[in-house]
Amino acid sequence: MITKSLFKNQPAKSTNRFIGKNRIKIGFLSLFVALSLILTGCGTKTPQISVQDYNNELISLQESALDQVKSYFQALDDEYDGQNLSDLYTTMQENLSTLADKAQNASGYREDLTLKNAVLAYITGLQTSLDQHEKPIVRLLTSYSGSAQQFYEQDRSSINSGTLLFAQDLTKLDQALDIAQSTFAKKHKLKLP
């Protein structure tokens, strides 16, 4: 675009060169802003959880899973009747599934999934062991029409066997979790009690 000169003997000036310089300045400014956003992560950073809090959060899921199992067996001791046994078992397994989902959805600590995966394996291992060893007993008890005393006398060996196998599985799960937690603690310099 050519503008008229205010003075008679001066040539008219083009405003295109001013527009060109402004475009370059705007381009550099845009590039600077884009790089700044990229370098700062395009927003605020989420605070990093401490290694102790991360450990405690995951171990609380494992402890909650154990509490679910203890509550189930305590309920059997306190208020067992053949009617609610299946419901108690189903509720316990649903609660364990919820805890397993929480463990699955937990993030790793600085990309380290050791503890997360160990807690998840612990909870799912509990579920599997209970399905293998307790669920058959639940089925037997809920289908049995006689007295509980008669049932225990007749099927004591299967109950004892299931209890023993569950205890062995629980010991293995505890050992695997202890190893994973120790490995995690050493790597991240976490002091365990």
Structure tokens at 30: 């845009």
Digit-coded pLDDT (tens) for 76-105 = 877 666 667 888 999 999 999 999 999 999
Sequence ranges of the domains in the chain = 1-45, 51-187
pLDDT of 43 reads 47
Digit-coded pLDDT (tens) for 38-60 = 655 554 454 578 999 999 999 99
pLDDT at 5 over 50: no
How many CB atoms are closer than 10 A to CB 18?
10
* Partners of residue 14 on adjacent β-strands: 2
171 pLDDT band, cuts 50/70/90, is very high
143 pLDDT band, cuts 50/70/90, is confident
71 vs 137: CA distance, rounded Å: 17
Digit-coded pLDDT (tens) for 104-125 = 999 999 889 999 999 999 999 9
Q: Tell me the angle at which helices 114-133 and 135-143 cross, rounded to the nearest 10 degrees.
A: 30
138 pLDDT band, cuts 50/70/90, is confident
Poorest-pLDDT segment among 11-20, 51-60, 96-105, 182-191: 11-20
174 pLDDT band, cuts 50/70/90, is very high
Look at the pTM and tell me if it is higher than 0.75.
Answer: no
72 vs 60: CA distance, rounded Å: 18
Average pLDDT over residues 131-154: 77
> 49: which DSSP letter?
P
User: Given CA atoms 77, 80, 86, 90 in this order, what sign does their dihedral have?
Assistant: negative
pLDDT of 159 reads 79
pLDDT of 92 reads 97
Instruction: State the Cα angle at 160 between 69 and 140, rounded to 5°.
Output: 75
Element (H, E) at 145: none
